[in-house]
């Protein structure tokens, strides 16, 4: 294990500035708004800020001050050793529940930034449990090394995550994830549930419909369930072109994202806006998020390949081809998430013991609604919660 501080070389920063100075923008149809993708005015404004006003060194220093970061070599079966970047903050008091936070795309370890202090401090309330939080950069994301062989899918992401927790001394732990993090934590629950992974909580709740499901029975679903299914169908119809490209020809797209910071910005910014619930993004917030991808150790293209590998392993989102985990599972529902499934399908995901409905929030719950997400975890694992005491000797309280 080695301590880690983010430091981007001056030459890398100057190269980025030069590329931004020489950016070429496409035209745009009149009154097209968001219908065709990220609006030209937004991207020009963000590029101008990135080029002339955004202070990466300031953001870098803030991240280093706020987040205790480390790297560690993890041996991955069939893939050799990968150097993994992660955040690790222990609770300020009590026997913190070890919690592994797993991000997705286009997220990063940055998504844990707002929840870490709340989880480790217990929101300053002794009645609430505290957590030891680990937030890794998935292989190929952020400042983790990426695999150099094909076939790195959920099995390997779960293996890296699990081995990291063991290396930190957490032989028992719980997990939280959204986006790909929800699928990876499910794989952790499948492979290591019971002995090591004791419970999991997710905020992207998707699964394929049961084979025996009669479509005519959809009329019996509650209105909120019908709305969730309709949102997911609309997402598949008009919002997942990125998914199909990244799942079929990620290398081709990778050339554009690795060569053009403007292209990378537009590709990610669109998702940050349309997948959130009117979240008031500041320009510097967006640029910090995108900069993590531009400066990533393996390069922007590496993060795309998870889509290809998952699809070609038959492990796509919502797949029910594998056995269902039995450890306790919690859900947090946010109304602007990409979709959701009805309660009648919960058995396809796991042993649901806890769920909360929220009236605002979208896809990036840890960033958009950190207090709500943390509150749900505190309820699920607190003294009156259904998953209290699942980690032996570490219940989140003094004793």
Residue 367 among the catalytic residues? no
**Angle of the 261-274 helix axis to the 250-259 helix axis, nearest 10:** 110
Catalytic residue among 88, 162, 179, 269: 179
Check residue 80 and give left, alpha or beta (phi > 0: left; psi -120 to 50: alpha): left
Residue with tokens 């970047």: 85
8 A C-beta contact, residue 156 and residue 320: no
Helix (H) or strand (E) holding 19: helix 10-21
- Pick the catalytic residue from 308, 333, 358, 376: 308
| Active-site residue, 162 included | no
CA distance 96 to 89: 10
Instruction: With beta carbons less than 8 A apart as the criterion, state whether 111 and 133 touch.
Output: no
The DSSP bridge partners found for residue 84 are 72
CB atoms under 10 Å from CB of 243, counted, come to: 16
Question: CA 61 to CA 46: how far, in whole Å?
Answer: 21
Residue 354 contacts residue 387 (beta carbons within 8 Å): yes
Strand 80-89's sheet: what is its strand order? 2-4, 69-76, 80-89, 131-136, 97-102, 173-177, 197-202, 328-333, 351-357
User: In this structure, are residues 232 and 340 in contact, taking their beta carbons and an 8 Å threshold?
Assistant: yes
- CA proximity to 247, closest of 300, 291, 306: 306
**Nearest alpha-carbon partner for 204 in 23, 337, 81, 87:** 337
User: Among the options 363, 367, 376, 397, which is catalytic?
Assistant: 363
363 catalytic, yes or no? yes
- Partners of 3 in the beta sheet? 70
Active site residues: 179, 308, 363
């Amino acid at each position: 294990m080695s301590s880690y501080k983010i430091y981007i070389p001056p030459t890398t920063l100057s190269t980025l500035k030069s590329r931004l100075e020489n950016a070429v923008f496409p035209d745009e149809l009149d009154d097209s708004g968001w219908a065709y993708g990220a609006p030209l005015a937004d991207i020009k404004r963000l590029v101008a800020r990135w080029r002339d006003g955004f202070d990466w060194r300031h953001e870098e220093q803030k991240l280093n001050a706020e987040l205790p970061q480390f790297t560690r070599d993890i041996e991955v079966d069939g893939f050799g050793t990968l150097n993994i970047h992660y955040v690790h903050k222990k609770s300020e008091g009590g026997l913190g529940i070890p919690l592994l936070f797993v991000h997705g795309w286009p997220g990063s370890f940055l998504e844990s930034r707002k929840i870490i202090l709340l989880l480790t401090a217990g929101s300053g309330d002794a009645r609430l449990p505290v957590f030891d939080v680990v937030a890794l950069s998935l292989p190929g994301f952020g400042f983790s090394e990426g695999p150099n062989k094909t076939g790195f899918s959920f099995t390997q992401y779960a293996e890296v995550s699990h081995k990291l927790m063991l290396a930190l001394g957490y032989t028992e732990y719980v997990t939280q994830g959204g986006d790909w993090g929800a699928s990876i934590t499910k794989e952790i629950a499948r492979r290591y549930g019971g002995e090591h992974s004791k419970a999991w909580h997710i905020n992207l709740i998707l699964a394929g419909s049961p084979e025996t499901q009669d479509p005519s029975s959809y009329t019996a679903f509650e209105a909120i369930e019908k709305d969730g299914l309709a949102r997911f169908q609309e997402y598949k119809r008009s919002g997942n072109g990125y998914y199909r490209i990244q799942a079929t020809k990620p290398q081709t797209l990778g050339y554009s994202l690795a060569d053009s910071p403007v292209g990378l910005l537009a590709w990610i910014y669109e998702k940050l806006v349309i997948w959130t619930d009117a979240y008031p993004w500041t320009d510097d917030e967006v640029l910090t998020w995108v900069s993590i991808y531009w400066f990533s150790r393996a390069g922007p293209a590496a993060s795309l390949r998870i889509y290809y590998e998952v699809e070609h392993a038959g492990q796509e989102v919502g797949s029910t081809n594998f056995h269902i985990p039995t450890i306790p599972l919690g859900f947090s529902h946010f109304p602007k998430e990409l979709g959701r499934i009805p309660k009648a399908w919960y058995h396809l995901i796991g042993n649901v013991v806890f769920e909360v409905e929220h009236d605002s929030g979208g896809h990036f719950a840890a960033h958009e609604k950190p207090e709500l997400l943390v509150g749900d975890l505190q309820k699920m694992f607190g003294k009156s919660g259904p998953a209290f005491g699942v980690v032996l000797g570490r219940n989140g309280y003094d004793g």
